[in-house]
């Protein structure tokens, strides 16, 4: 089992997809709302557009929205799920046995698919869907197998993988595995340039203080999200922001200046009791989209994914999908505004969270219940930032909860160390949610759930005990 088998399966599935297209079938695409979800939805949409099919694409927060929507679709439409579905095969099978489903996903599968359905998931071939390929990568490989012209979509697959932080397990923040193959496609097609540098957003075209302020991974308290603080920080290090009348950019700094900023950030972090080592995350591979205009957030693949994430988490999913499909102009301007506002909001949320008022340490987990203080769609970004900021103990996973109406959204993150010890958060979320009347799943390092409001305490107790079972064994 491995890459070859996975790619063969894709090739085989293509005949069936082509048959649906040739028969003039209607397609309904459902994609998840995060950056990888919107990217995979956009890739699938462009594939269907280029194949001259009729299709509708919509984004969903969770599996429940899909379960509600499918009965209202035309009976013979082909349903494509991207970045969602594999974790809920039993439910889908039970309810929609007679429908035609195509699932392009990278979450840990649970159950079997109905005969005749297409299920493309790397885990079925022992390929790690949390690190080696994302749903956008899966959708890209399908699109490319259908038509070579879809190689133009390779940068969006890279954007999706970075959105799901698939570069995080590598020391050098580099995409590996099948993701690396996709990067190579993009490089060969002249669409992406890869280099080693400090990973400030817009390092080759954005003024230093803007590049510093717009970088949120790693999160640098008060500087991430604030241009004014970024300016005073750089001034304090005596870094010249301008050369004559022109703003300087990170790419033109000499090694000495880069070191000064790197060390300055370490010093600053320790002065505010943050672990200085998180600065290490700032060094690695930069993925630049060569055809994008300078000065836009689309130039840097990581920032492109932040823009999609911002659209997805603020009810502007369609703008994100349209931009990922290639729309620019007015829509891109709107998306940029959304990104700016999202960054501000996220930095306020982080300031609130790092005060630790909401943290609760249980025997095996750290629980943070924000109630309705934070939009439930923002907890996943906040939990990712928190878990990579080294503020949490490495030996306890983070479980964050936010309430919306009568539901609780759960977002869980574990350190690589815990995963190496055998912890699988996808399993923890699934079991704890099942026992409390909700649904859950995901990956070993990052997972989530939705549970009824009255079941919070019970859910946390279950999660604590299941994590304990993993770590004791
Ligand atoms: O929402 P959040 O980013 O915390 O979710 C982490 C991972 O868990 C995502 O990949 C998401 O798709 C997955 N998840 C899931 N089932 C849920 C909630 C989240 O598979 N009910």
Query: Which pLDDT score, from 0 to 100, does residue 201 have?
Result: 85
Q: How far is the CA of 452 from the centre of ligand 1 (A)?
A: 16
Among 448, 450, 452, the mutation site with the greatest number of ligand 1 atoms within 8 A of its Cβ is: 448
Q: How far is the CA of 255 from the centre of ligand 1 (A)?
A: 40
Contact indicator for 354, 384 with CB cutoff of 8 Å: no
CB atoms < 10 A from the CB of 405, how many? 8
Residue nearest to atom 19 of ligand 1 (CA): 448
Whole-number average pLDDT of the chain: 94
pLDDT at 251 over 80: yes
Rounded Cα distance between 415 and 5, Å, is 30
- Using the atom order of ligand 1, give the atom closest to the CA of residue 379: 4
Q: How far is the CA of 114 from the centre of ligand 1 (A)?
A: 23
Residue nearest to atom 3 of ligand 1 (CA): 380
Residue 249 half-sphere exposure, CB side, CA atoms within 13 Å? 12
Query: Which pLDDT score, from 0 to 100, does residue 280 have?
Result: 87
387 in ligand 1 pocket by Cβ < 6 Å?
no
Residue nearest to atom 6 of ligand 1 (CA): 447
- The residues near 121 (Cβ < 8 Å, ≥ 6 apart) are 86, 103, 105, 106, 107, 109, 129, 138
Task: Pick 155 or 356 by higher pLDDT.
Answer: 155
| CA pseudo-torsion sign 299, 128, 277, 263 | negative
Rounded Cα distance between 306 and 362, Å, is 32
- Using the atom order of ligand 1, give the atom closest to the CA of residue 400: 4
CB atoms < 10 A from the CB of 104, how many? 32
Rounded Cα distance between 382 and 400, Å, is 9
Query: Which pLDDT score, from 0 to 100, does residue 273 have?
Result: 84
Q: How far is the CA of 83 from the centre of ligand 1 (A)?
A: 10
- Using the atom order of ligand 1, give the atom closest to the CA of residue 449: 21
* Token pair belonging to 387: 């878990």
* Token pair belonging to 445: 């390092």
85 in ligand 1 pocket by Cβ < 6 Å?
no
In the predicted model, what is the mean pLDDT of residues 60-86? 96
Give the relative orientation of helices 178-188 and 3-22 as an angle to the nearest 10 degrees: 60
Contact indicator for 40, 61 with CB cutoff of 8 Å: no
Rounded Cα distance between 240 and 243, Å, is 7
40 in ligand 1 pocket by Cβ < 6 Å?
no
Rounded Cα distance between 362 and 459, Å, is 13
pLDDT at 408 over 90: yes
- The tens digit of pLDDT for each residue in 410-445 reads 999 999 899 999 999 999 999 999 999 999 999 999
Contact indicator for 35, 380 with CB cutoff of 8 Å: no
Lateral strand order in the sheet of 446-452: 359-361, 366-371, 398-404, 407-413, 446-452, 439-442
What is the share, in percent, of the chain residues with pLDDT greater than 90? 84
Q: How far is the CA of 196 from the centre of ligand 1 (A)?
A: 31
- Using the atom order of ligand 1, give the atom closest to the CA of residue 37: 12
pLDDT at 473 over 80: no
Lateral strand order in the sheet of 26-32: 54-60, 26-32, 78-82, 100-104, 118-120
Contact indicator for 223, 212 with CB cutoff of 8 Å: yes
Q: How far is the CA of 447 from the centre of ligand 1 (A)?
A: 5
Q: How far is the CA of 268 from the centre of ligand 1 (A)?
A: 33
Q: How far is the CA of 346 from the centre of ligand 1 (A)?
A: 19
Q: Spell out the domain ranges in the chain.
A: 3-172, 197-351, 356-472
In DSSP notation, 377-408 reads TTHHHHHHHHHHTT-S-TTS-EEEEEEETTEE
- The tens digit of pLDDT for each residue in 159-199 reads 999 999 999 888 889 999 999 999 999 999 999 999 998 89
Contact indicator for 134, 164 with CB cutoff of 8 Å: yes
In the predicted model, what is the mean pLDDT of residues 284-311? 94
448 in ligand 1 pocket by Cβ < 6 Å?
yes
Task: Pick 216 or 338 by higher pLDDT.
Answer: 338
- Using the atom order of ligand 1, give the atom closest to the CA of residue 108: 20
pLDDT at 472 over 90: no
86 in ligand 1 pocket by Cβ < 6 Å?
no
Among 446, 449, 452, the mutation site with the greatest number of ligand 1 atoms within 8 A of its Cβ is: 446
In the predicted model, what is the mean pLDDT of residues 306-323? 97
pLDDT at 1 over 80: no
- The tens digit of pLDDT for each residue in 25-34 reads 999 999 999 9
Query: Which pLDDT score, from 0 to 100, does residue 164 have?
Result: 95
107 in ligand 1 pocket by Cβ < 6 Å?
yes
439 in ligand 1 pocket by Cβ < 6 Å?
yes
pLDDT range class, residue 45, cuts 50, 70, 90: very high
pLDDT at 374 over 80: yes
In the predicted model, what is the mean pLDDT of residues 372-383? 94
pLDDT range class, residue 204, cuts 50, 70, 90: confident
Among 89, 92, 308, 441, the mutation site with the greatest number of ligand 1 atoms within 8 A of its Cβ is: 441
Classify strands 78-82 and 26-32 as parallel, antiparallel or unpaired: parallel
43 in ligand 1 pocket by Cβ < 6 Å?
no
Task: Please tell us whether the domain made up of 3-172 is placed in CATH 3.40.50.300.
Answer: no
33 in ligand 1 pocket by Cβ < 6 Å?
no
- The tens digit of pLDDT for each residue in 318-350 reads 999 999 999 999 999 999 999 999 988 998 999
CATH topology of domain 356-472: Diaminopimelate Epimerase; Chain A, domain 1 (3.10.310)
- Using the atom order of ligand 1, give the atom closest to the CA of residue 164: 10
């Amino acid at each position: 089992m491995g890459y070859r088998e996975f790619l063969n399966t894709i090739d085989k599935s293509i005949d069936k997809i082509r048959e649906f297209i040739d028969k003039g079938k209607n397609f309904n695409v459902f994609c998840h709302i995060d950056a990888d979800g919107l990217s995979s939805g956009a890739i699938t949409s462009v594939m269907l557009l280029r194949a001259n099919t009729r299709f509708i694409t919509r984004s969903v927060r969770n599996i429940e929205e899909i379960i509600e929507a499918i009965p209202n679709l035309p009976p013979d439409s082909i349903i494509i799920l991207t970045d969602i579905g594999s974790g809920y095969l039993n439910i889908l099978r039970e309810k929609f046995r007679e429908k035609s489903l195509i699932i392009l996903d990278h979450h840990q599968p649970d159950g079997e698919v109905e005969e005749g359905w297409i299920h493309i998931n790397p885990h079925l071939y022992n390929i790690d869907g949390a690190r080696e390929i994302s749903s956008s990568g899966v959708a890209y490989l399908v699109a490319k197998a259908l038509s070579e012209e879809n190689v133009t979509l390779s940068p969006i697959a890279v954007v999706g993988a970075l959105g799901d932080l698939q570069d995080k397990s590598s020391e050098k923040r580099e995409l590996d595995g099948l993701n690396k193959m996709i990067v190579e496609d993009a490089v060969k097609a002249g669409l992406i340039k890869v280099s080693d540098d400090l990973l400030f957003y817009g390092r080759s075209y954005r003024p230093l203080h803007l590049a510093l302020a717009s970088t949120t991974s790693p999160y640098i308290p008060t500087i991430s999200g604030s241009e004014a603080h970024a300016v005073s920080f750089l001034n304090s290090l005596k870094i010249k922001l301008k050369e004559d009348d022109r703003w300087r950019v990170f790419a033109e700094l000499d090694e000495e200046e880069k070191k000064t900023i790197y060390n300055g950030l370490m010093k600053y972090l320790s002065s505010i009791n943050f672990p200085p080592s998180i600065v290490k995350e700032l060094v690695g591979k930069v993925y630049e989209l060569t055809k994008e205009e300078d000065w836009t957030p689309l130039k840097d693949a990581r920032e492109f994914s932040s823009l999609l994430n911002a659209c997805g988490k603020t009810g502007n999913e369609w703008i994100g999908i349209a931009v990922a499909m290639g729309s620019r102009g007015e829509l891109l301007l709107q998306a940029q505004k959304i990104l700016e506002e999202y960054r501000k909001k996220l930095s306020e949320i982080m300031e609130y969270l790092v005060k630790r008022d909401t943290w609760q340490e249980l025997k095996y987990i750290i629980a943070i219940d924000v109630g309705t203080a934070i939009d439930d769609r923002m907890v996943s970004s906040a939990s990712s930032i928190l878990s990579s900021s080294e503020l949490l103990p490495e030996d306890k996973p983070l479980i964050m909860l936010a309430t919306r109406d009568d539901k609780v959204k759960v977002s869980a993150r574990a350190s690589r160390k815990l995963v190496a010890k055998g912890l699988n958060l996808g399993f923890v979320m699934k079991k704890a949610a099942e026992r409390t009347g909700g649904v859950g799943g995901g990956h070993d390092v990052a997972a989530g759930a939705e549970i009824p409001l009255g079941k919070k305490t019970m859910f946390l107790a279950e999660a604590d005990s299941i994590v304990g079972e993993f770590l004791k064994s």
